[in-house]
């Protein structure tokens, strides 16, 4: 406990935008968030008071960081499982635990275990990818088993010649895709679970550019199925904290599990303004075993648009903010304190309203002003 506040100290390994936004949620709850950042220039390190500089894969650094924390959690999946197990054996509370987190760290292990449990997944192989492609029909999707995000480590193979030279790959069928969805839930150690409305995620070049909440025109039975699936996954995998389940909705009306993330997730950034309890507050509640918060929407339609780094030069980000606020005063802006690189997520904007298409137009315009500068 923090002796000054009498409230728990949560440690978050990783100093990116997820830790930055978790810090904002912690402030309202009166909690102290300690951040382990690689650099003092990381997004969370720029705003948090209690920052330790160190690497997430350095046992001694994480051990020293964890001293004085009531619980340690993560803003990414790259902390080695052996490190987590070692500290857990020493009495450190780390959530989610290594046994759950490994299924978000390794796609081969995730696909194997989910298939064994009977969860719906695309047809896949960890064996002979060429033979698999011949069996299910080309093109197929090839992924690196570990690492990879925002389209990295994911390849479309039209033939065996397109299979990358990598030591650890899996192959998946290319499903007949209607759209991509996400079901986000949070689970406490006591076993209480809260589910957010299912959302549609819109991808471009492997990067999520837009999230629509709730997913428009989604069959009610399918929405309930997706939520139940995410709750069942969280329970059976023993997840504590936020679990984001990325889903494929197929053209024949099925849902298939694509990826898992056991932390706050881009598909639920809209909850900061768009839900009664944000995913970041919910994650803190979960790892501290507080009762879960209300997940209902605060407006009939909520749209989040990611802000991607554009070409260098031109109008400054400060000038762009001036123009954005003048043109779209209702847009809520979140900038992550990142250096701008083309295609890099540097922030997001959220727009709430009664009409989904109007919200989409306004959110896209706000993001475009931040990315490209003012449009006359």
Which residues contribute to the annotated binding site? 107, 143, 172-175, 180, 258-259
Whole-number Å distance between alpha carbons of 1 and 3: 6
Annotated binding-site residue numbers for ATP:
107, 143, 172-175, 180, 258-259
* 107-117 vs 98-105: helix crossing angle, rounded to 10: 110
Task: Let me know how long the chain is.
Answer: 376
Contact present, 207 and 241 (Cβ < 8 Å): no
Whole-number Å distance between alpha carbons of 281 and 42: 21
Dihedral of CA atoms 37, 41, 43, 47 in degrees, nearest 10, equals: 90
Residue of 155, 207, 147, 210 lying closest to 342 (CA atoms): 207
Output the six-digit token pair for 176: 């007949």
Strands (DSSP E) found in 65-197: 71-74, 124-125, 140-144, 154-157, 169-173, 177-187, 193-195
Output the six-digit token pair for 263: 């932390």
Whole-number Å distance between alpha carbons of 218 and 226: 11
Whole-number Å distance between alpha carbons of 98 and 104: 10
Output the six-digit token pair for 145: 């088993």
Contact present, 86 and 59 (Cβ < 8 Å): yes
């Amino acid at each position: 406990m923090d002796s000054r506040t009498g409230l728990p100290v949560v440690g978050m390994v990783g100093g990116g935008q997820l830790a930055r936004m978790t810090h904002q949620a912690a402030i309202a709850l009166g909690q102290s968030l300690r951040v382990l950042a690689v650099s003092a220039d990381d997004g969370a390190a720029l705003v948090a008071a209690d920052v330790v500089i160190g690497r997430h894969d350095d046992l001694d650094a994480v051990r020293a960081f964890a001293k004085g924390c009531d619980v340690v959690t993560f803003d990414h999946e790259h902390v080695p499982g052996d490190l987590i197990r070692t500290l857990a054996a020493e009495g450190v509370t780390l959530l989610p635990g290594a046994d759950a987190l490994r299924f978000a760290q390794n796609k081969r292990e995730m696909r194997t275990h989910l298939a064994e449990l009977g969860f719906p997944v695309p047809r896949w192989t960890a064996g002979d990818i060429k033979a698999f492609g011949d069996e299910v029909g080309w093109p197929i999707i090839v992924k690196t088993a570990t690492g990879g995000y925002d389209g990295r480590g994911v390849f479309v193979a039209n033939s065996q010649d397109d299979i990358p030279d990598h030591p650890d790959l899996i192959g998946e069928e290319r499903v007949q895709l209607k759209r991509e969805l996400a079901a986000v839930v949070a689970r406490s150690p006591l076993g209480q679970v809260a589910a957010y409305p299912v959302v549609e995620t819109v991808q471009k070049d492997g990067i999520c550019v837009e999230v629509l909440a709730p997913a428009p025109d989604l069959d009610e039975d399918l929405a309930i199925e997706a939520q139940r699936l995410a709750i069942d996954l969280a329970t059976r995998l023993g997840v504590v904290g936020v679990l984001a389940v990325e889903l494929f909705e197929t053209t024949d009306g099925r849902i298939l599990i694509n990826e898992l993330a056991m932390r706050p997730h881009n598909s639920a950034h809209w909850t900061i303004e768009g839900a009664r309890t944000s995913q970041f507050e919910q994650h803190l509640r979960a790892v501290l075993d507080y009762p879960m918060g209300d997940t209902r929407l605060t407006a009939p339609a909520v749209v989040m648009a990611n802000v991607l780094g554009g070409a260098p030069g031109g109008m400054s980000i400060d000038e762009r903010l001036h123009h954005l606020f003048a043109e779209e005063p209702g847009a809520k802006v979140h900038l992550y304190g990142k250096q701008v690189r083309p295609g890099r997520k540097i922030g997001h904007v959220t727009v709430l309203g009664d009409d989904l298409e109007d919200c989409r137009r306004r959110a896209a315009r706000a993001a475009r002003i931040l990315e490209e500068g003012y449009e006359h």
